[in-house]
């Protein structure tokens, strides 16, 4: 699997998790069920950590090529750390609660059922772009 495919797969997974999580959390927030929103948020964090760990292992296998391709890695790390600080504040509507981190497969299924179609759509767009770039590459930059 080349570097572009690994990055595309990670983006597809993020798209899938983001759409599924946003949808289920927004539904319970609309019902004003703060406890369920917090639980779903924390379950999505655990699911994202599991997915992230899988992509970490895959990424470590090709870390040299990936690092060369991604010169903005430091900016990404700073952005993630900065965003994460919001979820530690006591007055945040959604915040990290380690007590809610025990995996709940029923909630994961709910998030993935909604998110999988969006992730698949994103994967198809990425596959289409890779095919187009593969075909046009021999014609040079002018194409």
Contacts of 19 (CB under 8 A, 6+ apart): 114, 115, 118, 119
Burial of 43 (0-12, 13-18, 19+ CB in 10 A): buried
User: How much is the average pLDDT of 117-124?
Assistant: 82
Q: Tell me the residue range of the domain where 29 lies.
A: 3-139
Q: What distances in angstroms separate CA 21 from CA 8, 38, 88, one per listed residue? A: 20, 12, 19
Q: How many structural domains are present in the chain? A: 1
pLDDT tens, residue by residue, 81-94: 888 888 888 888 88
Per-residue pLDDT for 142 more than 60? Answer: yes
Per-residue pLDDT for 124 more than 60? Answer: yes
pLDDT tens, residue by residue, 3-17: 455 555 666 677 777
């Amino acid at each position: 699997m080349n570097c572009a495919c690994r990055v595309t797969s990670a983006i597809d997974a993020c798209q899938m998790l983001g759409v599924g999580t946003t949808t289920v959390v927004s539904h319970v927030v609309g019902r004003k069920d703060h406890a369920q929103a917090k639980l779903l948020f924390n379950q999505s964090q655990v699911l994202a950590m599991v997915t992230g760990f899988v992509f970490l292992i895959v990424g470590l296998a090709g870390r040299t090529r990936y690092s060369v391709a991604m010169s903005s890695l430091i900016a990404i790390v700073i952005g993630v750390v900065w965003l994460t600080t919001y979820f530690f504040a006591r007055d945040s509507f959604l915040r990290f609660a380690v007590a809610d981190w025990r995996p709940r497969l029923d909630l994961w299924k709910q998030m993935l059922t909604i998110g999988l179609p969006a992730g698949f759509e994103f994967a198809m767009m990425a596959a289409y772009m890779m095919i187009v770039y593969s075909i046009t590459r021999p014609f040079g930059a002018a194409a």
